[in-house]
Amino acid sequence: SLENADQALLTINLPEDAKILWRSFRRKAYLRFTPLGGTDNQNGSFITCTRPGAIKTARKIVINRQGRFRVAQFDPEVLATRLGQKGC
């Protein structure tokens, strides 16, 4: 949730069955950016799933403390293990 001083700059509506999973270094449920574009000393990754059960369409986006991101390559079997039997 946003604190009083925070402002959402962008909101994206996703398909109803899409999922975004966030995993952070400090197990925070949010990602906060500073005015300079950094992530307030947070790093972590998003796993995006736009089609439930389709591991092949999932993507992992890694974000570092400086606010830079990259799409990471991953082994579908490892991802399936992390997501469980149902996949996304």
Sequence spans of domains, the chain:
19-74
Compute, in degrees rounded to 10, the torsion defined by CA atoms 22, 26, 27, 33.
Answer: -50
Q: Which letter does DSSP use for residue 35 in this model?
A: T
pLDDT tens across 41-59, in order? 888 988 887 766 667 777 8
Sheet with strand 69-72: strands edge to edge: 19-24, 44-49, 59-63, 69-72
Identify which has the larger pLDDT, 4 or 2.
4
Calpha distance 38→54 (Å, rounded):
32
SS3 category, 13:
coil
Q: For residues 64 and 54, which has the higher predicted lDDT (pLDDT)?
A: 64
Considering the entire predicted model, what is its pTM? Answer: 0.65
Measure CA 16 to chain center: 17
pLDDT digits (tens, 9 = 90+) for 18-31: 888 888 888 888 88
Confidence (pLDDT) at 9: 76
